[in-house]
């Protein structure tokens, strides 16, 4: 096929044989375009694998764009029409019209189209890696980089686009036949009693209502400050890391030490022991008896192998979270375990892009739809904590409602599951001059936390009451 190249392209290919080459797949580009001119069905087979911007040659890119437009409009694609649309410029010894005619005459069959498309896309990815590294090396050697960490982050984001393209393979289109077969295979496994349903929350009733946290779900844990969002999230994250695989916990508010104090307190918790070990006591490192220290050391050993990976960094953008989640997935795969879920505490602290600067609702919409996209891309549940605003406090009944999320962009629409947290004790504790009746109520509900399923795309809404010791970060399903 290279014999039919216009002079300019041939010259470059020849030169490329001697010089360091910018990665490209020019011959695959020609072969694919020729195949489409021969039979437009080749385009349908190729489009899952390649985009116009992946083409190296500008004229090829332009041809592919025009072909896609014509196909989408239900119009014919043949070399005469293409020539009419693209004009008849001189490409260096050959006109566009002549070039298109040659491509058409040397066409491959449609069967080879996906293979050529993949070669073109792969070459484009190679170029991204090559150009990113080249630009990085150039900027480093001329001293144009002031902040190496910020520049490294920028490079990671660019390279991540390549990594994520490979990861997103599984998110491609599937046939209905394939999909229903895999659903039934899963049903069969469940019936035989050894099926992993979703990733468990570690609360049997909630797991029953929801079937656990299912792949590709965007799950929102919503509540007012102090209601127990972090407590619940850590309980669920720990359960998932113990039973289902690696878990990424993006803590945009608390440091790793603070989270670890909570995990230690929860792991060392034993209701039979007279001494409660609160995470506050661990933080203060005072008043811990030798026995408590022994329990904490035991908890340390129990935590040692749990793949709960904490990212304690404030001000992360959605792109950074996505890039790190993809890295976590690769790291997990290298260790032979799946990435079971990621958690973000909390989504209101994700640094928005500049696109909707100042428009909070639009910013939050971009973030929530991005999180849903990430869940789908990685094929895992993504759990986002959401802090509800003060409107809740104005009501007599302060239990959150779905409408409380409406201020926050499209979280309500994007979420597959919304779990709202409520502790009556929180409000009673903060009430001055409690009546005797209220004192009684407080004593009864001191360790109660309600989790209400406000939304579930494929299941019922419901409310469960849990046992919760917020001071020890402990959560369990209530006996009754
Ligand atoms: N030692 C303690 N004694 C009593 N209450 C405690 C103790 N330590 C923490 N708490 C309470 O536990 C709650 C903290 O729970 P958690 O951090 O899980 O809530 P949250 O919803 O994530 O809060 P925020 O949104 O403010 O981060 C707060 O109400 C806090 O007052």
How many CB atoms neighbour CB 236 within 10 A? 27
348 CA → ligand 1 middle, Å: 18
Give the tens place of pLDDT for each residue, 56-83: 998 899 999 999 888 888 888 887 778 7
Return the axis-axis angle of helices 256-268 and 290-303, rounded to nearest 10°. 110
Q: How far apart are CA 471 and CA 396, in angstroms?
A: 26
397 CA → ligand 1 middle, Å: 21
Residue appearing with tokens 């959401």: 386
78 CA → ligand 1 middle, Å: 68
DSSP letters spanning 398-419: ----GGGGTTSTTHHHH-SEEE
Closest C-alpha to 125, from 31, 44, 51, 32: 51
Is residue 170 over pLDDT 50?
Answer: no
**Region at 226 (left for phi over 0; alpha for psi -120 to 50; beta for the rest):** left
**Region at 18 (left for phi over 0; alpha for psi -120 to 50; beta for the rest):** alpha
> Ligand 1, atom 12: nearest CA belongs to which residue?
470
Which atom of ligand 1 is nearest the CA belonging to 253?
27
Which atom of ligand 1 is nearest the CA belonging to 426?
29
Instruction: Give the pLDDT of residue 174.
Output: 60
236 CA → ligand 1 middle, Å: 16
Residue range 320-331: average pLDDT? 87
DSSP letters spanning 219-247: EEEEE-TTSSHHHHHHHHHHHHHHHTSEE
> Ligand 1, atom 9: nearest CA belongs to which residue?
471
Instruction: Give the pLDDT of residue 416.
Output: 94
Q: Are 278 and 471 in contact (CB under 8 A)?
A: yes
Residue to substitute in 389, 471, 475 for testing ligand 1 pocket (most ligand atoms within 8 angstroms of CB): 471
**What is each CA distance from 347 to 217, 218, 310, 424, in whole angstroms?**
16, 12, 16, 24
Q: Are 317 and 323 in contact (CB under 8 A)?
A: no
Is 231 close to ligand 1, i.e. is its CB under 6 Å away?
yes
Give the tens place of pLDDT for each residue, 404-428: 886 666 888 899 999 999 999 998 8
**Portions of the chain given CATH number 3.40.50.300:** 196-477
Is residue 111 over pLDDT 60?
Answer: yes
Longest dimension (CA), the chain: 97
* DSSP tag of 168: G
**Portions of the chain given CATH number 1.10.860.10:** 2-145
> Ligand 1, atom 13: nearest CA belongs to which residue?
226
Residue appearing with tokens 């009546």: 435
Return the axis-axis angle of helices 79-86 and 58-72, rounded to nearest 10°. 110
| Assigned CATH class of 2-145 | mainly alpha
Structure tokens that stand for 10 in this block: 């041939």
Beta strand pairing status for 417-422 and 339-345?
unpaired
Q: Are 255 and 450 in contact (CB under 8 A)?
A: no
> Ligand 1, atom 8: nearest CA belongs to which residue?
471
Instruction: Give the pLDDT of residue 405.
Output: 81
Is 471 close to ligand 1, i.e. is its CB under 6 Å away?
yes
> Ligand 1, atom 15: nearest CA belongs to which residue?
228
CATH topology classification for 196-477: Rossmann fold (3.40.50)
Is residue 371 over pLDDT 90?
Answer: yes
Instruction: Give the pLDDT of residue 15.
Output: 53
**What is each CA distance from 242 to 302, 363, 379, in whole angstroms?**
10, 35, 19
388 CA → ligand 1 middle, Å: 15
Q: Are 416 and 217 in contact (CB under 8 A)?
A: yes
Average pLDDT, the chain: 84
Is residue 2 over pLDDT 50?
Answer: no
Query: Residue 346: is the preceding peptide bond cis (ω within 30°)?
Result: yes
446 CA → ligand 1 middle, Å: 13
Instruction: Give the pLDDT of residue 166.
Output: 62
Residue to substitute in 221, 227, 264 for testing ligand 1 pocket (most ligand atoms within 8 angstroms of CB): 227
313 CA → ligand 1 middle, Å: 20
CB neighbour burial string for 246-270, b if at least 16 within 10 angstroms, e if fewer: bbbbbbbebeeebbbbbbbbbbbbe
For 59, the 3-state DSSP assignment is helix
């Amino acid at each position: 096929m290279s014999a039919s190249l216009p002079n300019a392209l041939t010259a470059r290919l020849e030169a490329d044989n001697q010089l360091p080459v910018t990665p490209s797949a020019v011959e695959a580009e020609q072969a694919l375009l020729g195949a489409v001119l021969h039979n437009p069905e080749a385009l349908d087979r190729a489009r899952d694998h390649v985009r116009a911007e992946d083409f190296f040659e500008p004229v090829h890119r332009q041809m592919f764009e025009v072909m896609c437009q014509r196909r989408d409009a239900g119009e014919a694609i043949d070399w005469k029409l293409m020539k009419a649309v693209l004009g008849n410029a001189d490409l260096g010894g050959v006109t566009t019209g002549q070039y298109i005619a040659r491509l058409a005459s040397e066409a491959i069959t449609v069967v080879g189209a996906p293979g050529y498309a993949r070669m073109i896309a792969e070459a484009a990815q190679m170029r991204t890696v090559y150009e990113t590294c080249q630009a990085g090396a150039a900027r480093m050697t001329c001293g144009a980089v002031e902040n190496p960490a910020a520049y490294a982050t920028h490079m990671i984001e660019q390279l991540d686009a390549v990594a994520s393209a490979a990861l997103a393979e599984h998110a491609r289109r599937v046939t209905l036949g394939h999909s229903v077969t895999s659903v039934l295979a899963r049903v069969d496994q469940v019936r035989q009693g050894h099926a992993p349903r979703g990733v468990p929350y570690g609360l049997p009733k909630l797991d029953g209502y929801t079937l656990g946290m299912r792949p590709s779900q965007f799950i929102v844990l919503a509540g007012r400050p102090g209601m127990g969002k972090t407590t619940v999230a850590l309980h669920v994250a720990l359960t998932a890391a113990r039973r289902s695989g690696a878990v990424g916990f993006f803590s945009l508010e608390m440091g790793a030490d603070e989270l670890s104090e909570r995990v230690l307190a929860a792991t060392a918790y034993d209701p039979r022991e007279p001494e409660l070990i609160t995470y506050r006591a661990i933080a203060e490192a005072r008043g811990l008896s030798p026995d408590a220290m022994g329990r904490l050391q035991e908890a340390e050993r129990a935590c040692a192998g749990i793949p709960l990976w904490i990212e304690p960094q404030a001000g992360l953008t959605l792109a950074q979270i996505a890039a790190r989640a993809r890295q976590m997935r690769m790291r997990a795969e290298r260790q032979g375990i799946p990435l079971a879920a990621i958690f973000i505490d909390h989504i209101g602290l994700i640094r928005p892009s500049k696109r909707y600067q100042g428009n909070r609702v639009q910013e939050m919409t971009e973030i929530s739809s991005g999180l849903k996209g990430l869940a789908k891309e990685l094929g895992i549940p993504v759990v986002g904590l959401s802090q509800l605003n003060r409107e809740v406090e104005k009501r007599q009944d302060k239990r959150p409602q779905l409408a409380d999320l409406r201020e926050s962009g499209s979280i309500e629409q994007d979420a597959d599951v919304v779990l709202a947290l409520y502790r009556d004790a929180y409000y009673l504790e903060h009430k001055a001059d409690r009546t005797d009746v209220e004192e009684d109520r407080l004593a009864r509900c001191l360790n109660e936390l309600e989790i209400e399923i406000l939304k579930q795309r494929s299941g019922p809404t419901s409310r469960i009451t849990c046992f919760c010791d917020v001071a020890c970060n402990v959560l369990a399903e209530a006996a009754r």
